[in-house]
Structure 1
Amino acid sequence: MSLTIECQARPEGVNPRALRRDGLLPINLYGHKGADSDVFVVDYKEALTLLKKVTPNETVVEVKTPDWSGTAVVREIQSHPWKRNLLHLSFFHTDAA
């Protein structure tokens, strides 16, 4: 079973809280461009479904962005301390086959 997540470009100048109100979750993708990182958004419900099947820093996920496609692991999951709703995800590129 392959795990895949589709990312969209994050609109510039939009507050992360406004994105979350619209059902989008901000994410960062590290390592696919060397030292540079990119910011994207994913559907909140799609991210929740993915996280039920993922172990951070272990499970390889196929990440598809508008201009790049490759494998990554979930490096960091940020959630609200007591409400437990997601705030942010960080992915790190890996060369796994």
Structure 2
Amino acid sequence: MKFVAFERAKQGTGASRRLRNAGKVPGIVYGGEGEPQLIELDHNALWQALKKEAFHASVLDMELDGKSSKVLLRDLQIHPFKQQVLHIDFQRVSAKQKIQMKVPLRFTGEEESNAVKTDKALVNHILTELQVSCLPADLPEAIEVDLSKLEKGQTLTLKDIALPKGVEAVLHGHSAEDMVLVSVVMPAVEAEAEAAPAAEAPAAPSEGEKK
């Protein structure tokens, strides 16, 4: 995705307030070989871009002073109750250096699985995003997770899926085997119904009761 930023000359609370009143968003871009640089963006254009998943999890092309550079969205401050972006941070990235980024998990095929279609089980998405490490060119917009083979009682872990080429998961001390992505459970009502027949079966009468 591409977006346009403009150089911002002034900083401080007052200057930022005047920018917001004029429909602009103050921001900063840092990292890479250049010095941190103050920028401003058009609020309406930014607000529309933020609605797209790719803006949060992709390498972006930022045009600034007629030059294009690769950046990542790193921080975003939103007004507590207004639809207003207060401040935004971007980080420059190098094509030769690996980056770490949280990428959305995109689940597909759930309704076609035996777990849902036949057994009417509930599929719980334990994780909705995964932190990965890769070169900027290998960063996926999302990671596809096929759930069409799910069975009742199954647990899907990171070990069970294939990551895109060049992409590694950042495990934070965990293993791929214990990082659960999806679990399949029966609805509480049905689980109780399965247990009910044994509990409700009438007991055989004793010899005393027969008399």
- Structure 1 length as normaliser, TM-score? 0.82
AA aligned to 2:36 is S
RMSD over aligned Cα atoms: 1.9
Residue 7 (structure 1) aligned with residue 8 (structure 2): no
Counterpart of 2:20 in structure 1 is: 20
Which secondary structure does the structure 2 equivalent of 1:20 belong to? helix
SS of equivalent residue, structure 1 residue 7: strand
What CA distance in whole angstroms lies between the structure 2 residues aligned with 1:12 and 1:31? Answer: 20
Q: Could you say which structure has the larger radius of gyration?
A: 2
Shift of 1:85: 1.7
What residue identity is the alignment partner of 2:62? V
**Most deviating of 79-88 and 23-32:** 79-88
Q: CA deviation at 1:83?
A: 2.5
Q: Which moved more, 1:3-12 or 1:21-30?
A: 3-12
Flag as ranges the 4+ runs of structure 1 deviating above 4 A: none
Distance of 2:84 and 2:22 partners within structure 1: 14
What is the CA-CA distance between 1:15 and the residue it aligns to?
1.2
Structure 2: which amino acid aligns with 1:60? V
Which position in structure 1 is the counterpart of 2:63? 64
Q: 1:37 to 1:93 in 2, by over 3 A?
A: same
Check if 1:81 corresponds to 2:80.
Answer: yes
Query: Unaligned regions of 5+ residues in structure 1, if any?
Result: none
Does the residue aligned with 2:31 lie in a helix, a strand or coil? strand
Q: CA deviation at 1:50?
A: 1.4
Matched letter for residue 27 of structure 1: G
The residue matched to 1:15 in structure 2 has which SS?
helix
Q: Does 1:43 align with 2:42?
A: yes
Deviation at 1:37, TM superposition (A): 0.7
- The higher-RCO structure (CA 8 Å, 6+ apart) is 1
Quick check: which one's helix share is greater? 2
Counterpart position of 1:29: 29
1:64 Cα deviation (Å)?
A: 0.9
Please report how far the alpha carbon of residue 42 of structure 1 lies from its aligned counterpart in structure 2 after TM superposition.
0.8
The number of residues matched between the two structures is 93
CA contact (8 A) 2:9 2:38 kept: no
* Matched-pair identity in %: 26
Q: Which moved more, 1:64-73 or 1:86-95?
A: 64-73
Greater share of strand: 1
Deviates more, 1:15-24 or 1:62-71: 62-71
Mapped partners of 1:48, 1:39: distance in 2: 19
Shift of 1:67: 5.9
